Structure 1
Amino acid sequence: MKKASGFEIIAARCWNLLNEGKPFTPIFVIGTYLLFHAGDWTEAGFWGPALSGLISILPLLAVYYWYDFPLLLRNYLWFPLLGYLVIWNEYHLALSFTALGLFYFFTVFFWGTFYYHLRIGTSWMNFTRFWKLVLKNSDSTSGNAAEQMPKFLLLLGLWETQYLLAAQESFLTASNVGTAAAFTAGVWLYSWILHRYLFDWKPKESEGYTADKPSDGKEISTKVIVIVIDGMRKDRYDAANTPFLDKLRLEGTEYTLMETVYPARTVVCFSSMFTGTYPREHGIKSNMVWKLGIKVESIFDSLRKVGKKGRLLGIAHLIDSMGDDVESVTAVMHNDLADRNIINRAKKIMAEQNPDLLVAQLIGTDQTGHSMGVLYDEYIVKIEEADRLIEEFVGWMEGRGMMDNTTLLICADHGQADGIGGHGHLDEGERFVPFFLYGPDIAKGKRVETRESLISVAPTLAYLLGAPYPSHSRGRVLAEAVERRKEVRA
């Protein structure tokens, strides 16, 4: 299986500018406005008024960049748009319909059909389903139509209004600027109130650092294998036919209320899982990573302190946070081959490098959710495929004597909501993830039903492998899952 090329790594970062809702909004608004006025570019009187209009809406662009309006909050975005129509009595129907057409072309055909066909091999007819998924999506990505539409319609409408006023007056008068400024201030206050009193679903964060007693350099497991089935929604996993994973879960220790972190984006979740702390501390706050690299120690750093080695096998954008600890794989392949190729690569890593910790990211389930939806049969099929591949990998390990004192940890980094498998703001289906451990030192048939957090992964791995906790670890060691045998390796 090919590694992710340098071009793919850069392309993945560029794609996140269009995929993440925050950067998409200004990019789409500016791009759409310039396309709409393409015939005016050569006119001497266009650029000055257009620039004046853009400057007048920059504060509103900043408000809409700063505040997400996911889940139920997106419904409140229509009121500022209505306020604009009442105050200025301007409709700009041609510009509005152009914007709507471009938005649905980008999301439904370019993203939902063309992009996914080239990248993972979905059908050229995927648009017949994808348009419905865009309307249902509730997370703050560019594919959340109910959030993006009122945002860009208001921004474009106000820009065009200010442009026309500037063109008529040769400049924007103090009255025009003042009205726009007062309106923007009202939208900011409205947004602040909504987020202050309605945005209340973030998980509670731990205050202190990991306080559990360390393992004093005594390893419990010789190896730990972590397999993260990216985007596996808990209730859909329960509905799938997964005999091998069920065996591991029932014969190991399961955490039934394992909660992901906020925001539940893949790079954010992996960063939190393997540092033991939150985005505010490790610095990775979305898949769009502006400054590369985590700010704190990871479990891979902890292992190096005791002469051990860990590897993270995953797709290119995990490099943005974990750097050289990532064995990258290309994500540009047919989705039916993705997890098969990742498991083959995992075997090669174990055969050639034999790390003490291997983390492998299976991506087929997540990609199917994003491209085809989580409530369709194709999503279940990918979970069942992951079950068979994990069984194959464990069997391969057993055949080489690598499972004698090895702990398996199976989990998802986040769930997925309805629509285009959105995840980030913890809609139904996103918050709680499958999570269980299995191995010779893991309690058999145990279910832990207290609420836990994925930040416990890093300190638990350190505990199992006899390494110090990462420097900023705040997670709790999942020690109740461990039943040490009499002999504990020093």
Structure 2
Amino acid sequence: MKQASSFEKVAARGWNLLNEGKPFTPIFVIGTMLLYHLNDLYTSAGALAISVIYVLPLLALFYYFDFPLLLRSYLWIPVVGFLMIFQSSYLSLWLLALGLYFFFTVFFWGTFYYHMRIGTTWWNFTRFWKLVLKNSDSTSGNAQEQIPKFVLLLGVWEYAFQHLDTGGLSITNLYQLILFYAGVAVFTWILHHFLFDWKPKPYESYTKENYSEAEEATNERVIVIVIDGMRKDRFEAAHTPFLDSLKQQGTEYTQMETVYPARTVVCFTSMFTGTYPFEHKIQSNMVWKLGAQTESIFDSLRKVDKKGRLLGIAHLVDTFGDDVDTVTAVMHNDVADQNIVQKGKEIMETENPELFIMQLISTDQTGHSRGVLYDDYIEKIEETDTLVKDYVDWLTEKGFMENTTLMVCADHGQADGIGGHGHLDEGERFVPFFMTGPTIEKGKRVEKKHSLVSMAPTIAQLLGAPFPDHSRGEVLTEQEKEDPSS
């Protein structure tokens, strides 16, 4: 199994500048304006550079606030306000922007990029354009969010540029802009204060305030299989006999909730630090400052001379550094998880860690490239079931499952459109989660709501390690047998 190269790790961070919605917006707006004014850059470069200052308040506002789900519909109100107040329309500029946007999302990203990276068909654009229009993801592919943003930003910038290029903005124009910015800011604050109420409520106290740390391990090993992006209701609709048997052999948590924003690197960081983005500081897949700002389960294990390894994509290095064995994400999607499972076997044989976490990526990539409400997605979940069976059978044969707890989960679900995840739309919030092992009660279903931040402290408890320093998750005690020997 090929590891992610240093180039791929850097490229993954670079790609997120275009993939994540917040950095994409200013990059796209600046690029579009430069292309639109390419012929007169020599004579008007100064006015163009100065006029961008007038867009900065809106850029800052759009970067700070998310405008998720239903809130994105309200983005058109400032656009209408701009047209009414400034009575300016820049149809040719907006049409260029729309053309560039759909070329980037549908053809470059949805077709060329996915064909080169994971082998999707060259005809993927015939489906991908529909996914872009329906997508609720917090990425550049969220047309319902990105279009009103760049229409407004380009309109304000062109308005300021044209006035500066012909003598400057009058006092009246400046007052109008200032009042407009203030109005948009107040409007945005009201929306987020009164309508943005679906974020999961975080645990307020730390794990160590509510639970005693284990004096000794009850398990020799914990193995975690994270099926990235496996939507709960689609998993339940798929034919997955082996994963279903694992649920029956152990305890299933039917209301396991992911974190906000439900992005892969954010979720993994929360899962294995036991806390939330406001504390570990990983806010999206675009990581500006490398490394979680809190202890991880890997740090906790080191305190008791135990080892943990995570096998996953290059993005996860940004949080967990040398605790990650990377896999290249540049391979045909039909063989990606097969290769990851093979690498997982090699790590178990050569390193024999007390904690091993393996990220399977094909289900997530199918959702992103082909959508989650199509047969392609169900088929990929069913293929994953077969691969997990192969891996667990191998672990059992080699003796690695003796006194071992196995956790199976998703890091987040996926919504309609481009397998959207981030804003906790339908299909994203609750994820499959079940565990089986010598201390785990068989055939139990826990209906109480729990959070994925419980994974780190539960793993620490099973392996006799201290809780990570900022862990807030509950220890999943409902699954424990009263008598582990029974």
TM over 0.5: yes
Deviation at 1:50, TM superposition (A): 1.3
2:174 equivalent among 167, 173, 177: 177
Matched, 1:12 2:12: yes
In the other structure, the counterpart of 2:413 is 415
Offset from partner CA, 1:323-378 (integer Å, 9 cap, x none): 11000110000000110010000000001000001000000000110111000111
Q: Provide the C-alpha distance between the structure 2 equivalents of 1:408 and 1:484, rounded to a whole number of angstroms.
A: 19
- Residue pair 2:213, 2:467 contacting (<8 A) in 1 also: no
In the other structure, the counterpart of 1:30 is 30
Deviation at 1:173, TM superposition (A): 2.8
Amino acid in the other structure paired with 2:388: I
In the other structure, the counterpart of 1:191 is 188
Amino acid in the other structure paired with 2:334: D
Amino acid in the other structure paired with 2:473: G
In the other structure, the counterpart of 1:124 is 122
In the other structure, the counterpart of 1:275 is 273
In the other structure, the counterpart of 1:341 is 339
Amino acid in the other structure paired with 1:27: I
Gaps of 5+ in 1: none
Gaps of 5+ in 2: none
Matched, 1:319 2:331: no
Amino acid in the other structure paired with 2:24: F
Q: Provide the C-alpha distance between the structure 1 equivalents of 2:48 and 2:175, rounded to a whole number of angstroms.
A: 18
- Residue pair 2:438, 2:485 contacting (<8 A) in 1 also: no
- SS state at 1:42 partner: helix
In the other structure, the counterpart of 2:397 is 399
Residues 451 and 486 of structure 1: is their aligned pair in 2 closer, same or farther, counting only changes over 3 Å? closer
Q: Provide the C-alpha distance between the structure 1 equivalents of 2:6 and 2:477, rounded to a whole number of angstroms.
A: 41
In the other structure, the counterpart of 2:161 is 163
- SS state at 2:440 partner: coil
Residues 53 and 486 of structure 1: is their aligned pair in 2 closer, same or farther, counting only changes over 3 Å? closer
Number of aligned residue pairs: give it: 485
Q: Provide the C-alpha distance between the structure 2 equivalents of 1:305 and 1:69, rounded to a whole number of angstroms.
A: 42
Offset from partner CA, 1:26-81 (integer Å, 9 cap, x none): 000000000111111222xx122212321111111111111111211111011110
Offset from partner CA, 1:137-186 (integer Å, 9 cap, x none): 113211110110011011101111111111121x3333222211211111
Bigger Cα displacement from structure 2, 207-216 vs 327-336:
207-216
- SS state at 1:2 partner: coil
- SS state at 1:409 partner: strand
In the other structure, the counterpart of 1:305 is 303
Instruction: Report percent identity of matched pairs.
Output: 65
In the other structure, the counterpart of 1:352 is 350
- Residue pair 1:462, 1:468 contacting (<8 A) in 2 also: yes
Deviation at 1:87, TM superposition (A): 1.2
Question: Counterparts of 1:66-77 in structure 2 under 5 Å?
Answer: 66-77=64-75
In the other structure, the counterpart of 1:287 is 285
Residues 468 and 180 of structure 1: is their aligned pair in 2 closer, same or farther, counting only changes over 3 Å? same
Amino acid in the other structure paired with 2:16: N
Question: Counterparts of 1:58-97 in structure 2 under 5 Å?
Answer: 58-97=56-95
Q: Provide the C-alpha distance between the structure 1 equivalents of 2:385 and 2:264, rounded to a whole number of angstroms.
A: 21
- Residue pair 1:137, 1:144 contacting (<8 A) in 2 also: yes
Q: Provide the C-alpha distance between the structure 1 equivalents of 2:468 and 2:400, rounded to a whole number of angstroms.
A: 26
Offset from partner CA, 1:376-423 (integer Å, 9 cap, x none): 111111111111111001111111111121110000000000000111
- SS state at 2:42 partner: coil
- SS state at 2:224 partner: strand
Q: Provide the C-alpha distance between the structure 2 equivalents of 1:484 and 1:461, rounded to a whole number of angstroms.
A: 18
- Residue pair 1:414, 1:431 contacting (<8 A) in 2 also: yes
Bigger Cα displacement from structure 2, 158-167 vs 199-208:
158-167
Q: Provide the C-alpha distance between the structure 2 equivalents of 1:140 and 1:368, rounded to a whole number of angstroms.
A: 18
- SS state at 2:325 partner: strand
Offset from partner CA, 1:85-125 (integer Å, 9 cap, x none): 11121111110100000000000000000000011000000
Q: Provide the C-alpha distance between the structure 1 equivalents of 2:281 and 2:166, rounded to a whole number of angstroms.
A: 47
Deviation at 1:487, TM superposition (A): 6.3
1:459 equivalent among 457, 466, 480: 457
For normalisation by structure 1, the TM-score amounts to 0.97
